[in-house]
């Protein structure tokens, strides 16, 4: 499966495609101003972590790259790009409104002219194993909603769509057979302090949606 090491993972900030509710997939869709603000807020949260990421890896799509660069203005960590962390190639469904590609959003039907679920999962496993072993940890992976969903599905979990720039921490639980990580999520309280809670979505996941 995937080597059970400590890492963080975050979805990119809001994009023009997200705001318009259309499938981006492997297309480039730039961050909105809200997406930039989300990335800067995530940078503030990450800068307050006791155990900060020592390395950043992001997909080659500009929405992930730009989010990673905004985060790294405060972190100043070594940063790497890997196309294997890119969103699912949605083929003929790219640029299509969400309500016209429900087969992909709700299930895992292979999009016409696109990438199969198995192909997607195989490259994600390859990317995670490569970078979690190669770099000083914890590693921060800046990626896409479908990457979260596929990561869960590899272990038999149906993960609902995660929010833009919502930080998750994956703490190894090596003696757990099903999903060998305890998952934490982060936010800010009303005083601007950091809040860390168990991410129950990884404990009782029963729905699945993808937003790229």
* Secondary structure percentages of the chain, helix, strand, coil, to 5: 35, 20, 45
What is 7-202's CATH number? Answer: 3.40.50.1240
Angle made by CA atoms 109, 114, 118, in degrees to the nearest 5 = 60
- pLDDT: is 139 or 149 the higher one? 139
Q: Tell me the domain boundaries of the chain.
A: 7-202
Q: For 67-108, what is each residue's pLDDT tens digit?
A: 999 999 999 999 999 999 999 999 999 999 998 888 777 777
Question: How many Å apart are CA 198 and CA 196, to the nearest integer?
Answer: 7
1 has a pLDDT exceeding 90: no
- pLDDT: is 114 or 210 the higher one? 114
- pLDDT: is 190 or 8 the higher one? 8
Q: For 22-64, what is each residue's pLDDT tens digit?
A: 999 999 999 999 999 999 999 999 999 999 999 999 999 999 9
Report the pLDDT averaged over residues 118-132.
97
The region of weakest confidence among 27-31, 65-69, 146-150, 178-182 is 178-182
Question: How many Å apart are CA 108 and CA 111, to the nearest integer?
Answer: 9
């Amino acid at each position: 499966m995937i080597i059970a090491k400590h890492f963080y993972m975050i979805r990119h900030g809001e994009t023009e495609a997200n705001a318009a509710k259309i499938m981006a997939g492997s297309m480039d869709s730039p961050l909105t101003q809200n997406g930039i603000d989300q990335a800067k807020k995530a940078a503030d949260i990450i800068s307050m972590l006791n155990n900060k990421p020592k390395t950043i890896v992001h997909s080659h799509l500009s929405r992930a790259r730009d989010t990673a660069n905004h985060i790294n203005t405060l972190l100043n960590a070594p940063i790497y790009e890997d196309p294997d962390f890119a969103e699912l190639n949605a083929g003929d469904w790219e640029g299509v409104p969400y309500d016209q590609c429900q087969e992909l959003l709700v299930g895992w039907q292979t999009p016409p002219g696109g990438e199969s679920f198995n192909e997607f999962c195989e490259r994600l496993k390859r990317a995670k194993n490569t970078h979690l072993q190669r770099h000083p940890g914890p590693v921060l992976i800046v990626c896409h909603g479908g990457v979260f969903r596929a990561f869960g599905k590899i272990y038999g979990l149906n993960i609902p769509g995660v929010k833009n720039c919502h930080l998750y921490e994956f703490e190894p639980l090596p003696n757990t057979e099903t999903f060998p990580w305890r998952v934490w999520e982060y936010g800010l309280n009303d005083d601007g302090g950091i809040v860390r809670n168990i991410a129950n979505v990884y404990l009782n996941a029963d729905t699945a949606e993808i937003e790229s």
